Chains A and B, each alone.
Chain A
Amino acid sequence: MTETLSGAQITIRLLERQGTRIVTGYPGGAILPIYDALGQSTVIRHVLARHEQGAGFIAQGMARATGEVGVCMASSGPGATNLLTAIADAKLDSIPLVAITGQVPKAMIGTDAFQEVDTYGLSIPITKHNFLVNSAEELLEIIPRAFEIAASGRPGPVLIDIPKDVQTQAIEIATWPEPGRAVPPPATDAAQIAEAAALINAAERPLLYLGGGVVHSGASASAVALAEKAGLPTVMTLMALGTMPVDHPLSLGMLGMHAARYTNLLLDECDLLIAIGARFDDRATGKVAAFCPQARIIHIDIDPAELDKIKNAHIGITADVQEALDQLLPAIVENGRKKWADRSIALKNQFPLAMPDADNPRSHFGLIRTVAACLDNEATIATDVGQHQMWVAQAYPLRRPRQWLTSGGLGTMGFGVPAAIGAALAEPQRTVVCFTGDGSILMNIQELVTAAEENVNLKIVLMNNAVLGLVHQQQTLFYGERLFASQFKGMPDFVKVAQAFGIAAIDLDAAPNPCAALMEAIARPGPCLIHASIDAEQKVYPMVPPGAANRDMIGA
Chain B
Amino acid sequence: MNATNRNEQQALSRAVLEIDVNNHAGVMSHVVGLFSRRAYNVEGILVLPVGDGSRSRIWLLVNEDLRLAQMMKQVEKLEDVIALRRHNADHAVFQDLESFFQP
* A interface residues (Cβ-Cβ under 8 A, vs B): 120-121, 124-125, 128-130, 132, 149, 303-305, 308-309
Name the residue of chain B whose CB is nearest to the CB of A149.
B79
Given that A124-B33, A149-B79 are known contacts, is A132 also in contact with B26, CB under 8 Å in the complex? yes
Contacts A121-B26, A305-B76, A309-B70 aside, 16 further interface pairs with beta carbons under 8 A come to: A121-B29, A124-B33, A129-B78, A129-B79, A130-B26, A132-B25, A132-B26, A149-B79, A303-B77, A304-B73, A304-B76, A304-B77, A305-B70, A305-B77, A308-B69, A309-B73
Q: Which residue of B lies closest to A303 (CB)?
A: B77
Q: Which 4 A-B pairs have the closest CB atoms?
A: A305-B73, A129-B79, A124-B33, A305-B74
Residues of B contacting A149 with CB < 8 Å? 79
Q: Mark B33-62, 1 if CB is under 8 A from A, else 0.
A: 100010000000000000000000000000
A120 and B80 CA atoms in complex are apart in Å by 15
- State in angstroms the CA–CA spacing of A303 and B25 once bound together: 27
Residue of A with least CB distance to B74 = A305
CB contacts (< 8 Å) of A304 on chain B: these are: 73, 76-77
Given contacts A129-B79, A305-B77, A308-B69, contact A120 B37 (CB under 8 A): no
Q: Check if B30 is an interface residue, CB within 8 A of chain A.
A: yes
Assess the B77–A124 pair: CB atoms within 8 A.
no
A124 and B33 CA atoms in complex are apart in Å by 8
Q: Could you say which residues of chain B place their CB within 8 Å of the CB of A124?
A: 26, 29-30, 33
CB distance from B47 to the nearest CB of A (A): 17
How many A-B residue contacts, CB cutoff 8 Å?
29
Query: Which of chain A's residues has its CB closest to B80's CB?
Result: A129
CB distance from B33 to the nearest CB of A (A): 5
Closest to A153 in B: B77
Across-interface contacts of B69 in A (CB, < 8 A): 308
How far, in whole Å, are A489 and B33 apart by their CA atoms in the complex? Answer: 42
- CA of A132 to CA of B78, assembled, Å: 16
Q: List 20 A-B contacts (CB under 8 A).
A: A121-B26, A121-B29, A124-B29, A124-B33, A128-B79, A129-B78, A130-B26, A132-B25, A132-B26, A304-B73, A304-B76, A304-B77, A305-B70, A305-B73, A305-B74, A305-B76, A305-B77, A308-B69, A309-B70, A309-B73
A125 and B37 form a contact (CB under 8 A): yes
Within the assembled complex, what's the spacing in Å between the Cα atoms of A309 and B71? 10
Please, how many angstroms separate the alpha-carbon atoms of A304 and B72 in the complex? Answer: 11
In the assembled complex, the CB of A162 is this many whole angstroms from the nearest CB of chain B, namely: 15
Q: Which residue of A lies closest to B79 (CB)?
A: A129
Q: Which residue of B lies closest to A306 (CB)?
A: B73
Q: Is the CB of B77 within 8 A of A125?
A: no
Taken together as a complex, chains A and B put the C-alpha atoms of A309 and B72 apart, in Å, by: 12
C-alpha gap A427/B26 in the complex (Å): 38
B33, B74, B76, B79 interface centre (most CB from chain A within 10 Å): B79
Closest to B69 in A: A308
Report chain A residues within 8 Å CB of B37.
Answer: 125
- Assuming the contacts A125-B33, A129-B79, A149-B79, asked whether A120 and B73 have C-beta atoms less than 8 A apart, the reply is no
Nearest-Cβ distance from residue A145 to partner chain B, whole angstroms? 9
| Closest beta carbon of chain B to A37's beta carbon, Å | 26
The interface centre, meaning the residue of A124, A149, A304, A308 with most chain B CB atoms within 10 A of its CB, is A124
Q: Bound complex: CA of A130 vs CA of B79, how far in Å?
A: 9
Q: In chain B, residues 2-31, which have Cβ atoms closer than 8 Å to a Cβ of chain A?
A: 25-26, 29-30
**Within the complex, what minimum Cβ distance (angstroms) separates A189 from chain B?**
17
Interchain nearest-CB distance for A420 vs B (Å): 31
Chain B residues with Cβ below 8 Å from A129 are 78-79
Most buried by B among A121, A125, A305: A305
- Chain A residues within an 8 Å CB radius of B73: 304-305, 309
A304 to B29, CA, bound (A): 22
Chain B neighbourhood of A308, CB < 8 A: 69-70
CA distance A370 to B37 in the complex (A): 45
* Residue in chain A with minimal CB distance to B70: A309
A271 vs B95: C-alpha distance in the bound complex, in angstroms? 50
Tell me the bound Cα distance from A149 to B76 in angstroms. Answer: 15
CA distance A305 to B37 in the complex (A): 16
CB-CB under 8 A from A128, the residues of chain B are: 79
In the complex, the chain B residue whose C-beta lies closest to that of A121 is B29
Q: How far is the CA of A120 from the CA of B33 in the complex (A)?
A: 13
Contacts of A309 in B (CB 8 A): 70, 73
The residue in chain B whose Cβ has the minimal distance to the Cβ of A128 is: B79
Taking the nearest CB of chain A, how far is it from the CB of B52, in angstroms?
A: 18
- Bound complex: CA A130 to CA B26 (Å): 9
* A contact residues around B76 at 8 Å (CB): 304-305
Residues of chain A with a CB closer than 8 A to B25's CB: 132
CA distance A531 to B28 in the complex (A): 51
Complex Cα distance A303/B37, Å?
20
Q: Which residue of A lies closest to B73 (CB)?
A: A305
Residue of B nearest to A158 (CB): B79
**Interfacial chain B residues near A121, Cβ < 8 Å:** 26, 29
Bound complex: CA A121 to CA B73 (Å): 22
Separation of A309 and B25 alpha carbons in the complex (Å): 30
Known interface pairs A125-B33, A125-B37, A304-B73. Does A120 touch B26 (Cβ–Cβ under 8 Å)? yes
Nearest CB on A from B82, distance (A)? 14
- CA A309 to CA B38, docked complex, whole Å: 14
Which residue on chain A has the smallest CB distance to residue B30? A124
Docked pose: A451 CA to B69 CA in angstroms: 47
Task: Give Cα A125–Cα B34 distance, bound, in whole angstroms.
Answer: 8
Say how far A245's CB is from chain B's closest CB, in angstroms. Answer: 34
> How close is A393's CB to chain B, nearest CB, in angstroms?
29
Determine the chain A residues whose CB is within 8 A of the CB of B79 once the complex forms. 128-129, 149
Shortest beta-carbon distance from B9 to chain A in Å: 29
- Residues of B within 8 Å of A305, CB to CB, are 70, 73-74, 76-77
B26, B69, B76: most-surrounded residue (chain A CB, <10 A): B26
How far, in whole Å, are A524 and B20 apart by their CA atoms in the complex? 59
Q: State in angstroms the CA–CA spacing of A125 and B29 once bound together.
A: 10
